[in-house]
């Protein structure tokens, strides 16, 4: 996003990306093709999806030219009013008013439109909402997808012909393994495509390892190219640097540089603090009855608002993408781990046939409906350099509790209740990821904060224009800059904030 706007303002722009560039045919056909889907370069897997395990969180995030948009669920929502009035940025402006035009620009750039296709699972969600007293809380999602004639290529419908040809969505459910159709409006089809036409260069498979200020101004960037067995160091120079590697790219880099006297030692002590998620729970309902097919549609088709702070979304993978079968475990709500384990075993022993049929389904994605429950209530962590049992004591970054009395949890009773209602409607059983049932550790695809805005370095890492305190020409413009919990999928808000930040960059002289 920043690359395009800076190029339009006359700057020479180089983008450095750790992941590789993907063509449609490069994406995995399903998530069993681990080398094309997962990011584990030590195993030779250089896909678009990474799972990072911490003591208090499991984080799902994306890598590649196009960033998280390659693997995200393309659901683009504007948060409710309370988001703009809480957190460390609340007193720095009238954010709802100030961001309104930038949300409009972001929607236009990302091709946001209403999901036109609902199916039987969406009807179940709507029925649950009506029974729970939320008959008006159900709606289709707003998504960044091209809904031309399914499977048909059409000239660029978004930028007056300046963008690439697009293909109409086939509703195959493959959004989160990488869109092989060409319908998903990933950043390489809009912002980056247009930026490269203006001369922006992209160094792929190259990871930034240091950003060092120069005595005369500007920065020296040390980077490492890695592809297969090949590796080479790169030294780059820039007047200005935008860090946009997401929470698990930007924050670890800044933490290391803050500890380096030749790096960025003046970075605020607030770095890594106020880390947050959408306060969410992921639960699956496995329905052995083959009359149900949950794999058809865009990644997230509908939303049910359940109260003023919470909502539930229907999420899917395409047929054949059954990788998470390996991590599925009976779900049970209880505070203590031993009670959850005991409850899960009782659940299986009480319904042995149902669980045998559920575990034996031939196509896990087709028979499993994922339920994503999210809340706008605040709950924060910190990210620090250190070692952890969860990472085998390897050096890296670890999570710490901001409030030991309120650790993040996957155990949200309203989410469990909604999942059981859904299971009753479809004749299914309720499951969670193993880490959630056994450890109570939540899984999130929405890791945010850690480089929050503040009035100075005692309250934040960046100012309201995304400038790092103490370092002229250094910016953080990504999810780590989110300074409150939006309570919804955050991609549209990150885009709007980037658009606003670029409005405050003067034109190149």
Q: Enumerate helices (H) and strands (E) in the chain, giving the number of each.
A: 12, 26
Residue 389, pLDDT above cutoff 70: no
Angle, helix 337-350 to helix 352-359, in steps of 10 degrees: 100
DSSP 8-class letter at 448: B
Q: Both tokens of residue 482?
A: 């989110």
Residue 167, pLDDT above cutoff 80: yes
How many Cβ atoms are within 10 Å of 201's Cβ, its own excluded? 12
Q: Both tokens of residue 132?
A: 């729970």
The pLDDT confidence band at residue 390, using thresholds 50, 70 and 90, is low
Give the pLDDT of residue 136.
Answer: 83
- Domain 1-15+73-111+185-276+447-509 CATH assignment equals 3.10.580.10: no
Share of the chain above pLDDT 90, in %: 89
Q: Both tokens of residue 419?
A: 């999942």
8 A C-beta contact, residue 202 and residue 17 = yes
Residues acting as catalytic residues: 446
Which residue in this structure is represented by tokens 């779900």?
Answer: 331
Residue 297, pLDDT above cutoff 70: yes
Name the least confident of 56-60, 306-310, 404-408, 460-464: 404-408
Residue 266, pLDDT above cutoff 90: yes
447 vs 276: CA distance, rounded Å? 6
Residue 388, pLDDT above cutoff 80: no
8 A C-beta contact, residue 452 and residue 402 = no
Q: What are the residue ranges spanned by the domains of the chain?
A: 1-15+73-111+185-276+447-509
The pLDDT confidence band at residue 217, using thresholds 50, 70 and 90, is very high
Contacts of 199 (CB under 8 A, 6+ apart): 7, 12, 13
pLDDT (average), residues 356-366: 94
Ramachandran class of 450: left when φ > 0, alpha when ψ lies in -120 to 50, beta otherwise: left
Give the pLDDT of residue 440.
Answer: 86
457 vs 255: CA distance, rounded Å? 15
The pLDDT confidence band at residue 395, using thresholds 50, 70 and 90, is low
109-158 per-position pLDDT tens digit: 999 999 999 999 999 999 999 998 887 899 999 999 999 999 999 999 99
pTM: 0.95
182-216 per-position pLDDT tens digit: 999 999 999 999 999 999 999 999 999 999 999 99
Which residue in this structure is represented by tokens 């390892």?
Answer: 209
Give the pLDDT of residue 435.
Answer: 83
How many Cβ atoms are within 10 Å of 153's Cβ, its own excluded? 12
8 A C-beta contact, residue 351 and residue 431 = no
The pLDDT confidence band at residue 391, using thresholds 50, 70 and 90, is low
SS3 state at 478: coil
């Amino acid at each position: 996003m920043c690359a395009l706007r800076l190029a339009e303002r006359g700057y020479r722009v180089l983008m450095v990306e750790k992941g590789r560039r993907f063509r449609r045919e490069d994406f995995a056909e399903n998530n069993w093709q681990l080398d094309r889907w997962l990011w584990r370069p030590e195993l030779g897997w250089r896909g678009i999806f990474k799972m990072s395990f911490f003591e208090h969180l499991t984080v799902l995030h994306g890598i590649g030219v196009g960033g998280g948009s390659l693997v995200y669920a393309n659901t683009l929502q504007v948060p409710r009013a309370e988001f703009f009035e809480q957190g460390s940025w609340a007193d720095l402006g009238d954010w709802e008013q100030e961001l309104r035009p930038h949300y409009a620009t972001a929607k236009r750039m990302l091709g946001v439109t209403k999901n036109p296709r609902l199916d039987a699972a969406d009807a179940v969600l709507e029925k649950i909402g009506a029974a729970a007293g939320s008959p008006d809380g159900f709606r289709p999602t707003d998504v960044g997808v091209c809904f031309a004639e399914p499977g048909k290529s059409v000239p660029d419908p978004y930028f007056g012909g300046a963008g690439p040809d697009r293909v109409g969505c086939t509703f195959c459910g493959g959004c989160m393994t990488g869109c092989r159709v060409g319908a998903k409006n990933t950043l390489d089809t809009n912002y980056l495509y247009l930026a490269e036409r203006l001369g922006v260069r992209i160094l792929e498979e190259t990871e930034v390892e240091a950003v060092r200020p120069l005595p005369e101004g500007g920065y020296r960037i040390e980077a490492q190219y890695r592809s297969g067995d090949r590796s080479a160091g790169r030294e780059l120079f820039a007047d200005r640097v935008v860090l946009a590697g997401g929470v698990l790219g930007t924050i670890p880099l800044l933490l290391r540089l803050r500890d380096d006297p030749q790096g960025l030692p003046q970075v605020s002590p607030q770095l890594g603090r106020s880390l947050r998620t959408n306060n969410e729970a992921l639960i699956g309902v496995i329905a052995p009855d083959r009359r149900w097919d949950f794999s058809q549609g865009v990644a997230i088709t509908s939303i049910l608002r359940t109260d003023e702070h919470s909502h539930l979304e229907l999420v899917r993978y395409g047929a054949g993408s059954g990788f998470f079968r390996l991590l599925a475990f009976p779900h049970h709500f209880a505070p203590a781990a031993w009670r959850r384990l005991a409850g899960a075993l009782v659940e299986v022993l009480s319904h042995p046939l149902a669980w045998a049929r559920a575990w034996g389904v031939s196509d896990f994605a087709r028979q499993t409906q994922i339920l994503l429950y999210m809340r706008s209530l605040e709950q924060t962590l910190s990210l620090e350099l250190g070692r952890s049992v969860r990472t085998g004591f390897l050096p890296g970054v670890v999570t710490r509790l901001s409030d030991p009395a309120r650790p993040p949890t996957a155990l949200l009773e309203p989410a469990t209740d909604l999942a059981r209602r859904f299971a009753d409607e479809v004749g299914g059983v309720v499951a969670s990821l193993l880490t959630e049932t056994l450890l109570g550790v939540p899984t999130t695809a929405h890791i945010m904060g850690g480089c929050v805005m503040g009035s100075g370095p005692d309250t934040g890492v960046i100012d309201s224009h995304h400038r790092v305190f103490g370092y002229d020409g250094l910016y953080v413009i990504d999810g780590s800059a989110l300074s409150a919990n939006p309570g919804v999928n955050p991609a549209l808000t990150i885009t709007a904030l980037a658009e606003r930040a670029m409005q405050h960059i003067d034109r190149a002289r």
